Amino acid sequence: MRITTKGRYALKAILFLAVNGQGSPISIKEISSVEKISPEFLEQLFFKLKKAGLISSVRGPGGGFSLSRPMESITVKEIFDAVGEGLDLTPCTSCSDNTPVCTEADECLSFDVWKAAAEQIQGYFSSLTLRMILEGKARQFWDPQQKDVARV
């Protein structure tokens, strides 16, 4: 699995909104300038993020984008899903409920390995919120060495 530019930039842009967008919308031009992401690419990403209900926009002078929900209710997985970022490790773990699972899953000794790993990845990104990232808890959240970390 590899997170593409699309997923990385969508997360960067939303985190920028979370940090800087308290109270007033932020323009694509400002985000583009600070984060060094092309405005055209940001427009494409923001169209998808808005469609998914993660951000909202205001038109006109002083307009721009802001989060449409509280930071603690927006997960990294939602952001990745909105922009079409897949989190599966192998083709056999990317099956959804309406597509058949690998025809050799019952005989494949490694299927359970990939399935379990994919579930861990999905679980991590499904539980990791913008608030947790801003509070510096992204690493603690999964670090097995941390004994006192609350699991979500």
Measured in whole angstroms, the distance separating CA 87 from the mean position of its chain's CA atoms is: 10
CA angle 85–87–90, rounded 5-degree value: 125
Report CA-CA distances (Å) from 45 to 84, 111, 121: 10, 33, 23
Q: Mean pLDDT lowest for which of 11-20, 98-107, 142-151?
A: 142-151
Within 8 A by CB and 6+ apart from 54, the residues are 14, 67, 68, 69, 74, 78, 79, 82
**pLDDT at position 11 over 60:** yes
Question: What does pLDDT average to over the chain?
Answer: 84
Both tokens assigned to 69: 């929900």
Domain limits, the chain: 5-67
Q: What is the pLDDT of residues 75-118, one digit of tens each?
A: 999 999 999 887 777 777 666 555 556 666 677 888 888 888 88
Q: Give the span between the Cα atoms of 108 and 39, in whole angstroms.
A: 45
* Residue 149: per-residue pLDDT: 46
In this prediction, residue 134 has a pLDDT band, given cuts at 50, 70 and 90, of very high
Residue tagged 């929900």 (tokens): 69
* Residue 21: per-residue pLDDT: 76
- Contact between 67 and 76 (Cβ < 8 Å): no
* Residue 145: per-residue pLDDT: 54
Both tokens assigned to 119: 């579930």
**What CATH number labels 5-67?**
1.10.10.10
- Contact between 120 and 88 (Cβ < 8 Å): no
Per DSSP, the three-state class of 78 is helix
